[in-house]
Amino acid sequence: MRKEEIEIPINHFAVGANLVIPENVRALVIFSHGSGSSRFSPRNNYIADVLNKHGIATLLADLLTRQEDMNYDNRFNISLLSKRLVMVTGWAIQRKELMDLPVGYFGASTGAASALNAAVLLKDQITAVVSRGGRPDLARDVLPQVWAATLLIVGSLDTPVIQLNQLAYDILVCKKHMRIIQGASHLFEESGKLEEVARLALNWFMENLVQPQIIKQKEIH
């Protein structure tokens, strides 16, 4: 398993990122963090570690520079964050060891809206999206255009966000599923709840990223 701390060029500057490529890699998942979070998010890194152990490469990148992050409004600028996510994705799929892999997004909190928006911009380049305690409603205008298979995960104690996810779910027309984890709050800090998120995310990515690729390869041969 190869781990790299890298700088990804974005226009005239660069953003920090952590890339992990397991042996016999089968897919790539790029993380879209929520407001005030970063590539060092312990929850997202836990999810990434689970994916890595099952042959899925992960890229956790800061979509804002430190200076940009100091401007609070930038953290909720879905348009800006989506464009940055598209740029990061473009960088990733040009790397030799990643370019032929199916790509998915994992979005947390407001990062879910950026992930869905970027998935629309990139169309069939993004095959699956998972949202953890997300705000997909912030991408409401583009939700009918989402092509990627989308899983919405919400905690049962996160009542306002459940309602917002249900709103987004009803608008989505792609392959979709919504899972409410009993006894979990917004950050899934309760015992065993983040593990459940990881299991659901892994299963979704295996079903919608890895398995279709295996079938495609068999058809070629």
pLDDT of residue 13: 86
3-state secondary structure 101-139: CCEEEEEECCHHHHHHHHHHHHHHHEEEEEEECCCHHHH
Give tens-digit pLDDT for 156-208: 999 999 999 999 999 999 999 999 999 999 999 999 999 999 999 999 999 99
Distance CA 217, CA 100 (A): 11
Give tens-digit pLDDT for 71-84: 878 778 899 999 99
pLDDT of residue 161: 96
What percentage of the chain exceeds 70 in pLDDT?
94
The lowest-confidence range among 20-29, 125-134, 212-221 is 212-221
Q: Domains (ranges, CATH) in the chain?
A: 2-220 (3.40.50.1820)
Closest CA to 25 of 56, 60, 59, 58: 56
Q: How far apart, in Å, are the Cα atoms of 163 and each of 113, 157, 168, 207?
A: 15, 11, 9, 26
pLDDT of residue 216: 62
pLDDT of residue 173: 98
pLDDT of residue 67: 80
Note the residue count of the chain.
221
Q: pTM of the predicted model, to two decimals?
A: 0.94
Q: To 10 degrees, what angle do helices 111-122 and 78-92 make?
A: 60
Three-class SS state of 20: strand
41 is written with which tokens? 């998010």
Instruction: Name the strands in the sheet holding 103-108, side by side, starting at the edge strand that comes first in the sequence.
Output: 2-10, 13-21, 56-61, 27-32, 103-108, 126-132, 149-155, 176-181
**Quick one: average pLDDT of 8-27?**
92
pLDDT at 220 over 60: no
99 is written with which tokens? 């370019």
